[in-house]
Amino acid sequence: DGGITQSPKYLFRKEGQNVTLSCEQNLNHDAMYWYRQDPGQGLRLIYYSQIVNDFQKGDIAEGYSVSREKKESFPLTVTSAQKNPTAFYLCASSNSRQSRYQPQHFGDGTRLSIL
């Protein structure tokens, strides 16, 4: 069954530590995205990638980094520079090669908390 897998579902980080969130898709989608959701707010775009080895900053990229070495994988690192990392993180992908007018498909998210 095709889909997007995010792991882990819950993650705890100590102050000053970097942590990496995993996102894998087997939908053969070219484009992948990372969003952050805070209570009472919509999804805010952190980074996105339209093709392998290329990615662009979204609206709130500070304190985050990504890589896109493989089409299937788009890991997000939350660095110690991110001052308020506690949030629900969502990864998505879309079939951008077919058309720009394609919906994004989402994983089930990772909830990151600071100890």
Partner 1 sequence: DQQVKQNSPSLSVQEGRISILNCDYTNSMFDYFLWYKKYPAEGPTFLISISSIKDKNEDGRFTVFLNKSAKHLSLHIVPSQPGDSAVYFCAASAGSGTYKYIFGTGTRLKVLA
Q: Rounded to whole angstroms, what are the CA distances from 97 to 30, 32, 55, 88, 89?
A: 7, 12, 16, 28, 25
Instruction: Select from 27, 43, 60, 114 the one that contacts partner 1 (CB under 8 A).
Output: 43
DSSP H or E run through 66: strand 64-66
| Cβ 97 to partner 1 shortest distance, Å | 11
- 16 in contact with partner 1 (CB under 8 A): no
- 40 in contact with partner 1 (CB under 8 A): yes
Give whichever of 59 and 62 is closer to partner 1, judged by the CB atom: 59
* Residues pairing with 72 in the sheet: none
Helix (H/G/I), strand (E/B), else coil: 89: strand
Q: Which residues bind partner 1 (CB under 8 A)?
A: 4, 6, 9, 31, 33, 35, 40-45, 48, 50, 58, 90, 92, 94, 96, 100-101, 103-109, 111
